[in-house]
Amino acid sequence: MARIDERVAATDSPNANTAVRRLGFWSAVLTAVLPAAFFAVGIATPVRSISYPYAASFVPNDYLWMYPAFLLAPTFVVLVACIHSYAADDREVFSQIALSFAVVYAAVITTDYFIQWTVVEPSILSGETAGLALFTSTTLTGSSLVSKVSRTS
């Protein structure tokens, strides 16, 4: 019971509401700006359909779109957490579900992009390309890995 009282007291504080509103506003702004940034960078640096030995000269540019995409994941989690803090009691379960999915999304995406930056990009640049096809965001022909998997199954 004391925990519920603490929660009510914390949400009744005008400073707490102001801080959550401000954090929610700026995370919403970043959640809108970051996808626009990685879309623009992605359009400006298209994936090339070339083989790995020649890909090394393009790799840093091909991975530029991942930086704003990587930052989007934690920003989105913060936004959903702020929304959850304002959810009405009868709808709080839905915002909790959304927050859970946002955390899973952030974990998967940040892990994927971390592997891309720390394994794939350095391996391509050093010419060590054996076994990388599963980890790259594109295959040797430039098609997405998802479409390749869906064609083989």
**Per-residue model confidence (pLDDT) at position 147:** 40
Angle formed at CA 46 by CA 143 and CA 150, multiple of 5 degrees: 20
What 8-state DSSP symbol labels residue 132? -
Classify 13 in phi/psi space as left (phi over 0), alpha (psi -120 to 50) or beta: beta
CB neighbour list of residue 3: distance below 8 Å, 6 or more residues apart: none
- The arithmetic mean of pLDDT across residues 85-103, rounded, is 93
SS3 138: strand
The lowest-confidence range among 46-50, 97-101, 122-126 is 46-50
* Range picked from 54-63, 93-102, 128-137 for highest mean pLDDT: 93-102
Domain ranges of the chain: 2-47+61-152
98 vs 117, higher pLDDT: 98
Q: Which residues of 25-49 are buried (b: 16+ CB within 10 A; e: fewer)?
A: eebbebbeebeebbeebbeeeebee
pTM above 0.75, yes or no: no
